Amino acid sequence: MKTNKATTFLAIVSMLLLLAACSETISNVEDSLEARNELKSNNINLTSGGSCTYSGILTESEIEGLMEMREEEKLAHDVYLTFYEEYGYLIFNNIAESEENHTNAILQLIDGYELTDPATSETGVFTNPAFTELFNSLTEKGSGSLIEALKAGAFIEEHDIKDLQDLLAETENKDIYRVYINLLEGSQNHLQAFVSVLAKQGETYVPEIISVEEYQEILGATTNQSNNFSGKRNSYTGNQNCDGTGHGF
């Protein structure tokens, strides 16, 4: 009987030590994420009183892109906030805050060009029904387990990366491009964070939207993948219409 108790005690101690180690590792990932998000938010210039002027005529595709990204970034925010409320897992709250900055960056462009904001203030409700369906689908899938919620997060970031790359390739507007390039970097960072936390949970994430080659490049990159747009990006630096970023793009 004493031997059984001792064995049980040692098993419990070992489990607690394992959980503590796992928690510490995840905390390190989240601390790194928070630092990168803070830097990215500074780059985007989201100060409500910022001095910005907008000029030029947007194409229909550029307007549609802004409408899409306004709600797509809100989708990410709403899903992560829902998962944080369900699991209390800090990474969801950290990235939700970053996504709120992202959707506000798009709103600044929408307001600057005197367009009508499509976003609602209600969680999980969107003007575009496709995003409402996606929100319901992702939150339902993520409600099954923490692992599924983390995978849903990685999927959302893949979705953002692909859409932002398409929009970057289409726009010639410097204001829009400057914001999109920063959002792309943010989405790549978020994807790295979700994949890292999944790995600590013993799970391997398999990309569903972007290619395996691009996925591996993002995970192993010492510089972000937005460098794929470096030529166009460099042609826009020094021509900023917004004050306060201090970082070009």
CB neighbours (10 Å) of residue 141? 14
Alpha carbon 136 to its chain's center: 18
Alpha carbon 108 to its chain's center: 18
Question: For every one of its 249 residues, what pLDDT tens digit does the chain have, with 9 covering 90 and above?
Answer: 444 444 444 443 343 333 344 444 444 555 555 444 444 444 444 433 344 668 789 999 999 999 999 999 999 999 999 999 999 999 999 999 999 999 999 999 999 999 999 999 999 999 999 999 999 999 999 998 999 999 999 999 999 999 999 999 999 999 999 999 999 999 999 999 999 999 999 999 999 999 999 999 999 864 444 445 545 554 444 334 453 232 222
| Rounded CA separation 175/52 (Å) | 10
- Give the per-residue pLDDT at 52: 63
59-76 pLDDT, tens per residue?
999 999 999 999 999 999
CB-based contact 157:215 (threshold 8 Å): no
Q: Please name the residue that has the structure tokens 């990215």.
A: 40
Task: Check residue 144 and report its DSSP letter.
Answer: T
CB-based contact 117:107 (threshold 8 Å): yes
Amino acid at 205: Y
Let me know if 177 is exposed, middle or buried by CB neighbors in 10 A (0-12, 13-18, 19+): buried
Cα atoms in the Cβ-side hemisphere of radius 13 Å centred on 221 = 18
CB-based contact 168:177 (threshold 8 Å): yes
- Give the per-residue pLDDT at 249: 26
Residues 6+ apart with CB under 8 A from 204: 198
